[in-house]
């Protein structure tokens, strides 16, 4: 059966980076009026360091209008996305003129012409390249986007690029005593991550790192809890709503969804060799680990990405996949499950099959 295979992964981070304690002492302590609640949230976030295009230690965007933030997004997004995509194309051994589709995922900025057009121009893609822009889906968006890109690759037998890019630092909100805002400001960072997918590569033509073949996708949306995670457009950028009830909702759905996904492919949880779980926060990772009865080190890559990058919304699960490749976790092949969560409340999972690089 013809399928789509990920042969290149590229990531890019803004140059500005700061430790969590430095961010608290240098900006957020004053921003939240010395709140003890906020201080505890920052300390317990699982984040040690974050990269941002808007460094709060150097500039305060909390009073900026949405228009100002969108203009800044345009300035910052293109070079960051180009860096990630260039790495992914080089790793896959795919030339720009071979790309048939470029898909861009982002919920943190908008413009017309969009980032998809700007990226295609910057990379010198063909004028007839097809483009798809996926917006405002939030943290899980990489996985439905992966499904759509894979469908194109299989149907058209041409390579495609998927870029997930989020600049959450552009949306620091005005001072507030809302704990949900404290949580979101403690967790989120900026990043870009790109994938290159190709039709099944012929024997002897591959990449220097393991490949990932998309096998199947699954999704569950609990609309009764749609108010638990929100991303609202305001006059001062986009405002996150993040209920503390989210882990409890995930606990109801994660095992049935994963067991169904695996079962229809002749697998069980114990057969999965590698887990790439979106690190929405420590409680979410704890919930997944508990509900699936995973070994203590199964989500080590997810926890490491959370610690060193923060929650970067849609690119984050791809950052975890990249970290797993770097750690050699995919060298032995076998089933891989990628999982992410977001507004809806939505759970998404992808079953992948890891194979060795051939170059």
Query: Which sequence positions are flagged as catalytic?
Result: 139
- Measured between alpha carbons, how far is 106 from 201 in angstroms, rounded to an integer? 29
CA torsion 9→13→18→24, rounded to 10°? -90
Give the contacts of 330 (CB within 8 A, at least 6 positions apart): 210, 212, 274, 324, 336, 354
Q: Is 235 helix (H, G, I), strand (E, B) or coil?
A: coil
- Measured between alpha carbons, how far is 6 from 91 in angstroms, rounded to an integer? 10
Q: Is 170 helix (H, G, I), strand (E, B) or coil?
A: helix
What residue has token string 């012929």? 202
Sign of torsion, CA 112 114 118 120? negative
Q: Is 286 helix (H, G, I), strand (E, B) or coil?
A: helix
**Rounded (10°) angle between helices 36-43 and 179-187:** 30
| Burial class of residue 338 (count of CB atoms within 10 Å of its CB; 0-12, 13-18, 19+) | buried
Sign of torsion, CA 29 182 77 312? positive
Give the contacts of 81 (CB within 8 A, at least 6 positions apart): 12, 104, 115, 119, 163, 165, 192, 194
Q: Is 339 helix (H, G, I), strand (E, B) or coil?
A: strand
Strands (E), 107-152: 130-135
164 within 8 A of 106, measured Cβ to Cβ? yes
- Measured between alpha carbons, how far is 332 from 268 in angstroms, rounded to an integer? 18
């Amino acid at each position: 059966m013809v399928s789509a295979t990920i042969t290149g992964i590229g990531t890019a981070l803004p140059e500005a980076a700061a430790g969590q304690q430095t961010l608290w002492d240098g900006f957020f302590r004053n921003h939240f009026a010395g709140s003890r609640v906020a201080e505890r949230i920052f300390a317990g976030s699982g984040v040690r360091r974050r990269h941002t295009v808007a460094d709060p230690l150097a500039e305060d965007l909390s009073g900026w209008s949405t228009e100002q933030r969108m203009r800044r997004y345009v300035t910052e997004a293109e070079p960051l996305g180009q860096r990630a995509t260039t790495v992914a194309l080089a790793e896959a051994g795919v030339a720009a003129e071979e790309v048939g589709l470029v898909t861009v995922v982002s919920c943190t900025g908008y413009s017309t012409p969009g980032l998809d057009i700007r990226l295609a121009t910057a990379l010198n893609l063909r004028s007839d390249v097809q483009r798809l822009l996926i917006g405002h889906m939030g943290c899980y968006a990489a996985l439905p986007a992966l499904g759509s890109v894979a469908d194109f690759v299989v149907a058209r037998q041409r390579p495609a690029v998927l870029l997930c890019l989020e600049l959450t630092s552009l949306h620091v909100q005005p001072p507030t005593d809302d704990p949900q805002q404290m949580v979101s400001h403690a967790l989120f960072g900026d990043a870009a991550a790109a994938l290159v997918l190709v039709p099944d590569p012929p024997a002897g033509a591959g990449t220097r790192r393991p490949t990932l073949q998309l096998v199947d996708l699954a999704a569950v949306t609990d609309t009764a809890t749609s108010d638990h995670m929100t991303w609202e457009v305001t006059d001062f950028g986009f405002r996150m709503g993040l209920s503390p009830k989210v882990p409890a909702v995930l606990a109801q759905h994660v095992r049935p969804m994963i067991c169904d996904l695996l079962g229809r492919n002749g697998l069980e949880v114990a057969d999965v060799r590698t887990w790439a779980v979106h690190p929405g926060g420590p409680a979410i990772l704890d919930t997944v680990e508990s509900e699936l009865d995973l070994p203590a080190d199964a989500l080590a890559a997810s926890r490491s990405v959370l610690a060193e990058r923060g929650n970067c919304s849609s690119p984050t699960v791809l950052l975890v996949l990249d970290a797993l490749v770097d750690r050699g976790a995919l060298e032995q092949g076998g089933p891989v499950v990628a999982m992410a969560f977001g507004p809806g409340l939505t759970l998404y999972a992808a079953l992948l099959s890891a194979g060795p690089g051939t170059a």
